């Protein structure tokens, strides 16, 4: 099950896992491009539970969860309303709480599971004007480590992938609003000298979801072209 699977990174993760032979269900606010996604808001537990009921009926219990739904935010700290703060925390952090808690019983019953949380490279350094987003994504990294310790004995691994500068609708929307400066400057500051592609993140997720990554858990695997080391 991939959240945020209708766009950008989540969409690429869903396509990659399908190509690897998994039966993939997506959850998103918007319909998925192939029409097979489930519409649900990750902040609404009853919507997650309803989507999961349909997913389990169609595909069986969930073995792999990739949390890619996310909401960015660019506001000076002093101007962030509590409602805006709460929404960013709700989507980026509480959404992971809901989906993980909802699918873990399937994984415990199977004695096998994989959770990959898409956090953000902004957690390595902090970013001005993104304090709500960075706080929520940093909490996702912490949640990842705690869940890894708690669920390792059940055959379940939990890891995070913090992406940096990936060419997606979210990033292009921020660029379009003039929030990212000149993208060429960022490329110049990236050791591998290009933007990331959603497929770069999907490759990391596919590996962490694989059988051979079974001894990797509680890790934060940066995929950022070397901008954050
Ligand atoms: P994206 O293209 O905007 O995709 C995110 C998807 O999540 C969208 O389809 C969005 O739906 C969906 N979504 C948002 N709120 C949701 C909710 N409450 N319930 C269900 N789905 C929801 O962005 P992306 O760049 O691929 O981002 C994927 C993840 O990577 C996010 O967690 C993001 O924070 C993280 N990330 C991205 C970058 C980057 O450089 N692109 C860097 C660091 C971290 P709508 O479009 O309808 O809102």
Q: How far apart are CA 70 and CA 4, in angstroms?
A: 7
pLDDT band of 36, cuts 50, 70, 90: confident
- CA-173 nearest atom, ligand 1: 3
Categorise residue 32: left if φ over 0, alpha if ψ from -120 to 50, beta otherwise: beta
Task: Please say if 215 is a catalytic residue.
Answer: no
For residues 161 and 204, the answer to whether their CB atoms sit within 8 Å is yes
Mutate to test the pocket of ligand 1, among 25, 41, 70, 194 (most ligand atoms within 8 A of CB): 70
State the fold for domain 2-209: Rossmann fold (3.40.50)
pTM over the 0.95 mark? yes
Q: What is the dihedral of CA 121, 126, 127, 130, to 10 degrees?
A: 90
pLDDT digits (tens, 9 = 90+) for 68-78: 999 999 999 99
DSSP bridge pairs for 38: 27
Q: What pLDDT, on a 0 to 100 scale, did the predictor assign at position 34?
A: 79
- H helix and E strand count, the chain: 9, 6
Domain ranges of the chain: 2-209
Mean of the pLDDT values across residues 7-24?
Answer: 98
Q: Is 170 near ligand 1, meaning CB less than 6 Å away? A: yes
**Ligand 1 pocket: which of 8, 71, 134 to mutate (most atoms within 8 A of CB):** 8
The C-alpha atoms of residue 8 and residue 172 are separated, in whole angstroms, by: 10
Give percent above pLDDT 90 in the chain: 97
DSSP state of 152: G
- What phi and psi values does residue 22 have, to the nearest 5 degrees? -80, 155
How far is it, in rounded angstroms, from Cα 193 to Cα 98? 37
Residue 35 reports pLDDT greater than 80? no
Nearest 5°: phi and psi at 153? -60, -15
């Amino acid at each position: 099950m991939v959240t945020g699977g209708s766009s950008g990174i989540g969409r690429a993760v869903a396509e990659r896992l399908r190509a690897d032979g998994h039966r993939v269900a997506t959850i998103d606010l918007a319909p998925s491009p192939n029409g097979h996604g489930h519409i649900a808001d990750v902040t609404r537990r009853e919507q997650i539970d309803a989507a999961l009921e349909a997913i389990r009926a169609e595909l069986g219990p969930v073995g792999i969860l990739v949390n890619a739904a996310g909401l960015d935010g660019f506001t000076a700290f002093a101007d962030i309303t509590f409602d805006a703060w709460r929404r960013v925390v709700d989507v980026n952090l509480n959404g992971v709480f809901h989906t993980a808690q909802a699918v873990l019983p399937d994984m415990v019953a199977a004695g096998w599971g994989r959770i990959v949380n898409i956090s953000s490279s902004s957690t390595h350094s902090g970013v001005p004007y993104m304090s709500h987003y960075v706080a929520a994504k940093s909490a996702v990294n912490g949640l990842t480590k705690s869940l890894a310790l708690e669920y390792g004995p059940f055959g379940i691994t939990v890891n995070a992938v913090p992406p940096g500068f990936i060419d997606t609708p979210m990033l292009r929307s921020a660029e379009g609003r003039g929030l990212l400066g000149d993208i060429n400057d960022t490329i110049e500051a990236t050791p591998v000298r290009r933007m990331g592609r959603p497929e770069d993140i999907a490759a990391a997720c596919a590996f962490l979801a694989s059988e051979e990554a079974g001894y990797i858990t509680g890790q934060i695997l940066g995929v950022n072209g070397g901008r954050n080391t």
